Structure formats: structure tokens, C-alpha cells
A = this chain, B = another copy of it.
Amino acid sequence: MNRRDFHRHVVGIASVAALDPGSLRGLMPGTAERRRQVGLQVDGARLSENLQSLAAIGRTPDGAAMRVAYSEADLEARQFVTELMRKAGLAPSVDLAGNIIGRRDGTVSGLAPLMLGSHIDSVPQGGHYDGPVGTLAAVEVAYLLEENAIQTRHPLEVVVFQNEEGGKTGSRALIGEVRTAELDLETASGRTIREGIRLLGGDPDRLDEAQRPPGDIVGFLELHVEQGAVLDRTGTEIGVVEGIVGIRRWAVTVTGAANHAGTTPMDQRRDALLAAAGFVQEVNRVARAVPGSHVATVGRIEAFPGAPNVIPGQVRLSLEIRALTMDRIAELFELMRREAERLGEETGTSFDLEGFYESHAAPTDERMRRLVEAAAEELGLSRRRMPSGAGHDAQSMARLAPVGMIFIPSVGGISHSPEEYSRPEHIEAGANVLLRTLLGADETLP
């Protein structure tokens, strides 16, 4: 079947009769009938089974995923996925950064590849969905294409990025962002990143060569569990990710005058905590007053000297703002900074706001968002546009190529925990959206 026929099939107007019957192995009775109605679908049972097999690697007695990058479990899991890639007709290799890339040719020579994938390493005591869902769905999509002898215009690259949880090392290496000093950092495995890259089959001394030049990839797609509760709470099946938010963090120091809480009248105080409390409220007020999906958080606070009978002379707190553009972050920060200045004047205190962390925003590509929406529409799935508050490999990839990202619900929004869970039907739905988005991108991207 050529690409054009296949596309007619996927959007539900081609007959299942056009499929090679030999590729239908493993389908349950009734599946062919269902396909006839809605078009080509991934094999949800197979995907589920593969997820279970992967979850067994490095699983702790209490059910957590203990598969940190560069651990024995990570190596074993990579071997498992490499075997799956081979079965799916992908030609796997390891790049100089230690990422696994399974390649499949396209029909048009000279086109840059479409890349899809995620990661399989976990945080310590993590869950079984963050990473594996997107990785194994990408392999499943390739499997399906192979089974159905469908060839895309662009070559495909299914990627397993290494050490996502420990700092997105694999994807950041593709954009030349991994500094030499970083290589000597010890990871949760006990190995340094340098040792880890070598262990995976990469070459830390030639990391520069792992970089992909602009234009080297035509587009990148990632399916991932939401890791938040928006989809679950709103009963939405598909999140159309508008981008990975940028993050800026500030260390805020409020300085007043420490004094005896018994002998200092209310009107003679320069209470740093009173000023800080006003600031916490203004941060919230400003974030809500400005329309958008951004968030602002004060997560840490401490008063000094910190005794019940001493008026706080100093308060230290953290401010974090996340938004889809760095300009929005700057705008929100400026409004908050002005409130801090006003509060300082009112309370006889001073505010010092010092930036200590910045992570750039990575908007997804509008064409990709529309393809994701169209895929969900065709499959009858509910969907909503939303930012990704968490970081992902797609964030690095957005520097290289147009990126699309698909979220599926996390039950209760729980993540980075053995309690992390996404329902099989949502995983299957997400993989089907990934499939259709890929084919749409293959048709529309140059």
C-alpha cells in the first residue's frame, strides 16, 4: 500500500480489505470489524503487553520503577526496546550521545526524517508511564506501519532519549547544550554522565558530533502522560500541548527589623513576614488577573530568626513563574516586582529579588497542534489545548524542528511515584493520535 492509499485508509474511508491479511496477527475477533468503522488503529493489547514487560525491568518489590539512567535496569530496558525496534522493522543504532535511534526509510529520497519517541529511564522510586508510554507507542506506530507495509514519505526515526529524568542529557546533546563540566556530575546511578554515555555505547569525547544541525530533522512528535490532573479532572482524553512552559525562579529576600515581639508596639514594627505575606498574595493575584495558562508559585518560605517571640527581621522565599513565552514571564515578574516595591514602602521593609534559574519556553508548532486536534476529532476523542508545566525532551527538540506533543490523562495527576497511572484505553487513544499526527505531518511537512 502506498502512502496515499494508506492515508485514505487512516481517515476511515479505505476498506480493511486493502490491508495485508498477514499483518493482522494478534488481533482479537471483532477487531477487523472495528477497524472497518474507524480506520487503522494501533494494537492496544500489544502496546499494553510491551509496557508491562518494560515495567518488569527494574521494578522494586513494592512496585516502583527503579530504572534510573545508566543503571543495570536502564541497560536491560534499552536492550528490550532495541529488540522491539528490530521486530518493528526499525534499524536501531546508538548515537554518540547514547540515544537509541531506530530508523526506517521513507519513499522520497533526500527528505529529512520525522522523529518520534520519548525516554525509558525513571526517577528513583518512579512510576511506569512517564516516558515508556511515549517510547513504546512510537515503536508500536512503526510496528503497525511495518505490518501494513506502509511507507511514509519522510524517513522515520524512533528515538529513546537517554537520561531524561537526570537532566534531559540525550535530547540536549542533540542541540549541543551539554557542557563539558556537566559530564562529571554524578547521577542517581552512582555513575557520572561521562561514564554513563560510554556505558550506553556513546562517546563523551565526541559529544559535539552528536549535535544535529538545523534542518536535519523535519519534525518531532512526543506522546506523554500529562503528569498533572487537568485532563483527568475535566474528563478530557487528549491534551493538545501548546508548548513546554519556560521557567524562571527568583530567591526573594525581604528585610525588615527583628525585634522583641512583646515590647515592640504594632505601629513601630518593620515586620518582614507581614510584607512577605502581602507579596505571596500579590503573586497569586497578579497571576490570576493576567489572562493565560501561566502559573506563579511561592513554594518555599522561612522567617528569621524564626522564634515565636521575635518579629521576623528577614524572610526568604522562592518565586517561580512558568509561562508559554519568556515575554509573558517577564511581564508577570515586572507586575509582581512593582507590588513588592509598594509593599516595601508601606511596611518599611525592602525586597531583593535575585534570579537563580531559567529554562526557556518551547512552544509547539501550530501545524502540529492542528494535526493533533484533527486526529483526535477523527477518532471521536475529547481534547483541549494546554501547556506542559513539566519539562520534556520535546523542549530540546523544539530548538531543532517543529514539535508536536500529545498528552493523555494521569489518574489523579500523580507522577514521579509508583502510584502514577494512565488507563489502557487512554494509552491506546494517545498512540492512535500519535499515528495519525505522524501521517498528517508526513503529508504536510516539506
Interface residues of A (CB under 8 A from B): 226-230, 233, 245, 247, 249, 259-268, 271, 273-274, 276-278, 280-281, 284, 287-288, 293, 295-303, 305-312, 315, 318-320, 322, 357, 388-390, 413, 415
Contacts and interface: CB of A to CB of B under 8 A. Distances in A.
B281 A266 contact: no
- State the majority secondary structure of interface residues on A: mixed
12 contacts: A228-B263, A249-B309, A261-B320, A261-B389, A263-B415, A264-B413, A271-B284, A274-B281, A277-B278, A297-B308, A297-B311, A299-B305
Given A281-B274, A284-B274, A226 B263 contact: yes
B264 A228 contact: yes
Given A249-B308, A284-B271, A261 B299 contact: yes
B295 A228 contact: no
Given A229-B263, A263-B415, A299-B309, 16 more contacts: A227-B263, A263-B389, A263-B413, A264-B295, A266-B284, A267-B288, A273-B301, A274-B280, A277-B280, A299-B303, A299-B306, A300-B303, A300-B306, A300-B307, A301-B306, A308-B357
Copies in the complex: 2
Contacts of A390: 260, 262-263
A25 to B, nearest CB: 39
Contacts of A247: 262, 309
Contacts of A415: 260, 263
A229 B297 contact: no
Nearest to A391: B262
Contact of A297 (B230, B280, B309, B389): B309
Contacts of A287: 266
Contacts of A266: 284, 287-288, 295-296
A293 B268 CA distance: 12
A273 B263 contact: no
Q: Top 10 closest A-B pairs, CB basis? A: A228-B263, A262-B389, A277-B280, A263-B389, A308-B318, A261-B297, A277-B277, A299-B308, A300-B306, A301-B303
A227 B320 CA distance: 40
Nearest to A258: B299
A230 B264 CA distance: 7
